[in-house]
Structure 1
């Protein structure tokens, strides 16, 4: 699974983890992954981040920066992220947090 490869790569490379954490878009996260030889779609990133955040404790979630929930419209996973840097920040933060706790 390419999303898991991304999380694993973040565990091994703190520079990549920080870059993903501060990415301004989901497409930016996918581009960073591709630069590291990992092909992941925006849909995989959203679904993977949703799975991660459903598994994080309240303390882990407190360390995830940015983001907002805007409802269910238009996203297969039933989640929607705020436009701009906030939504990507939530996803990047979730990936970053997962890379720290594994």
Structure 2
């Protein structure tokens, strides 16, 4: 099956901007006892989230068609916070472990 990508066609409109939304969700683990952890205690963790972002919403940019039937374009990246699908606000402050530092600490 072939479709012609030409401005004004349904195929072009469906290609230029995705119709179905795509979401990414993140869960974080907040350290409940950060001062004690600094003194060697085991971290007490509480799961936070999900924090949900819509990631596929921006149409392609700088679409250029060439004589050899090829096309080039830029696909912008970005995300919009979706509060209705999230537990917590985007402005939440979360204290978490720096895993790279924690691993180095454990190794030495």
Please, what TM-score do these two structures have when normalized by structure 2?
0.20
Please, what TM-score do these two structures have when normalized by structure 1?
0.21
Whose strand proportion is higher, 1 or 2? Answer: 2
Specify the structure having the higher radius of gyration (Cα): 2
Whose helix proportion is higher, 1 or 2? Answer: 1
